[in-house]
Amino acid sequence: MSRLFLAVLATLALAFPARAAVEIQQVSSPGGINAWLVEEHSIPFVALEIRFRGGASLDLPGKRGAINLMTGLIEEGAGDLDARGFAAAQEALAADYDFDVYDDALSISARFLTENRDASVALLKSALVEPRFDADAIERVRGQVLSIIRSDSKDPDEIARATFDRMAYGDHPYATSLNGTEQSVSALTRDDIVAAHQGTLTRDHLYVGAVGDITAAELGALLDTLLAELPATGRPEPAEARLHFDGGITVVPYETPQSVALFGHAGIDRDDPDFFAAFVMNTVLGAGNFDSRLMTEVREKRGLTYGVYSYLASKDYADLVIGRVASANDRVAEAISVIKDEWARIAAEGVTEEELENAITYLTGAYPLRFDGNAQIAGIMVGMQMSDLPIDYIATRNDKVRAVTMDDVKRVAARLMDPEHLTFVVVGQPEGLETTN
Amino acid sequence: MRHLVACLIACLVTVPATAAEVTSFSLENGLDVVVIEDHRAPVVVHMVWYKAGAADEPPGKSGIAHFLEHLLFKGTDDMAPGEFSSVVAKNGGSDNAFTSWDYTGYFQRVAADRLELMMRMEADRMRDLRLTPEDIGTERDVILEERNQRVENDPGALFGEQRNAAMNLNHPYGIPVIGWKHEAAALELEDALAFYRTYYAPNNAYLIVAGDVQPDEVRALAEKYYGPLAPTPGLGDRVRPSDPPHLAERRLIFEDPRVSEPYVVRTYRAPERDPGAQEQAAALVLLSDILGGNGATSVLGQKLQFEQQKAIYASAFYQGLSYDDTMFGLIIVPVPGVTLQEAEDALDKAIAEFIEEGVDPVQLDRIKMQMRASQIYEQDSVQRLARRYGAALTSGLTLEDIEAWPGILQAVTAEDIMAAAETVFDRKNSVTGWLQKPQSAEVTQ
């Protein structure tokens, strides 16, 4: 029985207001694979979140789109099953596997019933370690990806994003769409797809979170079954992006009634001592809720948009502050002018006592509400691991928010918010706006 | 009256250790209350659903239900404009609202100990809204920008509006929820207030509270805050203008230079889930899953994507939750080089073959297995459960109908599905739409 050795390294009960608690266990499998687990036995299923760091940014030069295409093919046939056989087997088990890829990670979100656990894990394993990449499946999924690329070229939001990324990220993978181009995707071979698989789904890139009806011992065995046969090492991480923001406006002419604008400049690292101060500051400026300065000034007072927001885009290889607004072609210039004013105002003045207090109350109150389902909690735990946060982070996070002072916000606003370099991309037929520089 | 969802689920699959427990009661002023318990986390969702949506609007005032939804975040006799959402945010909660043809809903998600505050504020704005002409002007601009974002900037959405209008000869489901642009731009304060005074009343609403709460506690709070509100007298049955028999199929071509991927959509008029009679709708749900549920296993996916390779995407859709008649739809996005006519012909041929071949019993078993599993997975999201209850109740169903539904789905036979297909696929009851680039522009390129 010694092979069933299983280390439960840490068990921490993280109390939330009132009664609930998220008890995270750190599990090490006999084969040395680590995961974070929350046991939740009241509903007979498990949510499993698996992520591989690097994601689409691990594409090789000239092979843009290979990892995205490969991700779309993982469930299109594995082992003895072709695409249709795999899908039928999955349906029969009522298991869900959701494969997705982002700039910084390839993710697999799975859920399966307790009564079908072993068979569901075996089927998922076949997709991870022995995907077939059949020729007909490659052509079918390639056709879907090319269709998405063509659609994006006609979508004002996607045009804005592609233009913004190209300008902001220089020669980094972030500068181009992870879908690739029609040309690059058309040229991908099966060998490119196999190489993308071997270089991306590897144990050195791996992070796992599990929540649900499973014990630590059972999870340990599951991890080895599912993941131990993956290659040990994959492609090296990309370099840090070098950012370019000239503070200008770039207009991309496109015949559509409403202009879409993206704006942003350099941001702040997740590990920066002032990150929480910046987070609180951005909550006041433009994060999501109806109370933010941007929503108040652009929407509530002037009716210039349906929605405007800003957020800290702290990615693995670049940190930005980014925002978006959409306004009718004859009103977008005014919306941009208001946003620029708000950017300058918060940089110069910081926030008021009342705004700080409201933001802290909102953020600390909203945090426990994120933990509202097995899959959500599994995702949060993987995010914590990838950000190198300690296992007791959940219990300390609200204290970090509460510790932010007026001086902290003022300091970080002056340092971070840079009206001179706030750069806009506008897609549409904006009146009174022209490309600068 | 106590309703146990638990029993139904337990009868079908493994016995869950816990399951959502549903309780209902009514106040004297006509407010119906549903409590869904989930004690896993100290969180509560508080929702009010009005039995009024875009299909209840007076002629010429399209968009007023949705406009009013926005205006409910302006002030009341007790609260300043914007204060509602501010108070929710200050309490760490999130709030929003939504409008459909059959309902308008408002919800807040907060720590369970803030429920009383949410009730006080939501009850306050049920009857005591205070609007000024300034509120109207700015918010109308916001609505028009929302329409720009959701519809005017998206040729697929404009196409959908045109198809929907053609689908409904007389019924108000033919107007867009957000309103036709020319009518939404002309909405006035009095339009909003007239709609509000009639429909925003305890005897025209459902209160749904889901999460870490006890039914007795909800009842006491509901009686305290919603209990004193006056009902709207003389509110009759919901009767909308109805369609005459459809005698001719309708076809339309929508062209827009912003179209990248052309496609064909066909919709057929179809029955919805009716109280006490959900069997035909259940057969249509299974029919849509069989035809289009999963691209790799569905009839249309297999024939059109895998075998003939004429489609990038082919599927079927059906929304059974609706107060009046609904739609059953088919869609095909052809691969480059296949024309829309060829795509439509291939779609029709695939349906004709299916009518000949019938239901694959193994596929039907798999779909039913997934439906049983969804009963388990759904317990993980009490908010989704609450929303499903609200949509069903405001679509005219009862709690008994909601509880009977999983069993009715499981009881559907292959013969039921084929009978439903034979009935629904009547071209006279259909609208066929093509979305494409302007063909002249295509030539000059």
| Spatial separation of the C-alpha atoms in residues A114 and B23, rounded to whole Å | 28
**Nearest chain A residue to B289, by CA:** A91
Confirm whether pTM is higher than 0.90.
yes
B86 vs A contacts (CB less than 8 Å): 290-291, 358
Of B94, B296, B372, the CB nearest to A87: B296
* A365 in reach of chain B (CB within 8 A): yes
Chunked in runs of 10, what are the mean pLDDT values of chain A (437 residues)? 33 37 90 96 96 97 97 97 97 97 98 97 98 97 97 97 97 97 98 98 98 97 97 96 96 98 97 97 88 94 95 96 98 98 97 95 90 93 96 94 97 97 98 89
Contact, A84 vs B360, CB < 8 A?
A: no
Placement of tokens 């207030």 in the chain: B193
The answer to whether B380 contacts A374, with C-beta atoms less than 8 Å apart, is: yes
User: Rounded to a whole number, what is the distance in Å from the CA of B379 to chain A's nearest CA?
Assistant: 7
Q: How many Å separate Cα A407 from the centre of its chain?
A: 31
* A432 φ/ψ angles, rounded to the nearest 5 degrees: 80, 15
Which of B21, B38, B40, B187 to mutate: most A Cβ within 10 Å? B40
Q: What is the pLDDT of residue A18?
A: 34
Task: Output the CA torsion sign for B150, B154, B158, B159.
Answer: negative
A:212-241 residues touching chain B, CB 8 A cutoff: none
The answer to whether B296 contacts A18, with C-beta atoms less than 8 Å apart, is: no
List the domain boundaries for chain A.
3-227, 248-428
Phi-psi region of B166 (alpha: psi -120 to 50; beta: other; left: phi over 0): alpha
Predicted confidence (pLDDT) per residue in B13-63, tens digit: 333 334 578 999 999 999 999 999 999 888 999 999 999 999 999 999 999
B73 vs A contacts (CB less than 8 Å): 290
Q: Locate all alpha helices (DSSP H) within B188-233, ordered by sequence.
A: 189-199, 215-225
Q: What is the pLDDT of residue A372?
A: 85
Per the model's pLDDT, the better-predicted residue between B135 and B167 turns out to be B167
pLDDT band at B135 (very low <50, low <70, confident <90, very high): confident
The answer to whether A45 contacts B376, with C-beta atoms less than 8 Å apart, is: yes
> DSSP string covering A187-238, please?
T--HHHHHHHHHHHS-GGGEEEEEEES--HHHHHHHHHHHHTTS-S--PPPP
| Spatial separation of the C-alpha atoms in residues A96 and B12, rounded to whole Å | 20
The answer to whether B145 contacts A115, with C-beta atoms less than 8 Å apart, is: no
| Spatial separation of the C-alpha atoms in residues A203 and A216, rounded to whole Å | 20
> Residue A55 has what DSSP assignment?
G
Which of B260, B364, B371 to mutate: most A Cβ within 10 Å? B260
At B241, list the tokens: 């203008």
Residues of chain B above pLDDT 70, percent: 94
Placement of tokens 């039914």 in the chain: B215
Would the pLDDT of B445 be above 80?
no
| Spatial separation of the C-alpha atoms in residues B188 and A90, rounded to whole Å | 53
Placement of tokens 């088919």 in the chain: B330
The answer to whether A255 contacts B258, with C-beta atoms less than 8 Å apart, is: yes
Q: What is the pLDDT of residue B3?
A: 37
Q: At what angle do helices A353-366 and B83-90 cross, to 10 degrees?
A: 60
Phi-psi region of A305 (alpha: psi -120 to 50; beta: other; left: phi over 0): beta
B139 vs A contacts (CB less than 8 Å): 303
Domain A248-428 classified CATH 3.40.50.970?
A: no
Q: What is the pLDDT of residue B19?
A: 56
Kindly indicate whether the ipTM for this predicted assembly is greater than 0.85, answering yes or no: yes
Q: What is the pLDDT of residue A428?
A: 98
Predicted confidence (pLDDT) per residue in B264-315, tens digit: 999 999 999 999 999 999 999 999 999 999 999 999 999 999 999 999 999 9
Predicted confidence (pLDDT) per residue in B211-241, tens digit: 999 999 999 999 999 999 999 999 989 999 9
The residues of B annotated as belonging to the active site are: 69
* A81 in reach of chain B (CB within 8 A): no
- At A122, is the secondary structure helix, strand, or coil? helix
Would the pLDDT of B411 be above 90?
yes
Of B140, B260, B366, the CB nearest to A92: B366
* A327 in reach of chain B (CB within 8 A): yes
| Spatial separation of the C-alpha atoms in residues A207 and A196, rounded to whole Å | 18
With CA atoms as reference, report the closest residue to B333 among B308, B310, B351, B299.
Answer: B310
* A304 in reach of chain B (CB within 8 A): yes
The answer to whether B14 contacts A44, with C-beta atoms less than 8 Å apart, is: yes
Predicted confidence (pLDDT) per residue in B312-327, tens digit: 999 999 999 999 999 9
CATH of A3-227 among 3.30.1510.10, 2.40.50.100, 3.30.830.10, 3.20.20.70: 3.30.830.10
Shared fold status for A3-227 and A248-428: yes
pLDDT band at B12 (very low <50, low <70, confident <90, very high): very low
Task: Output the CA torsion sign for B255, B261, B264, B270.
Answer: negative
User: Rounded to a whole number, what is the distance in Å from the CA of A316 to chain B's nearest CA?
Assistant: 29
Which of B67, B148, B259, B364 to mutate: most A Cβ within 10 Å? B148
The answer to whether B149 contacts A258, with C-beta atoms less than 8 Å apart, is: yes
Of B17, B93, B380, the CB nearest to A365: B93
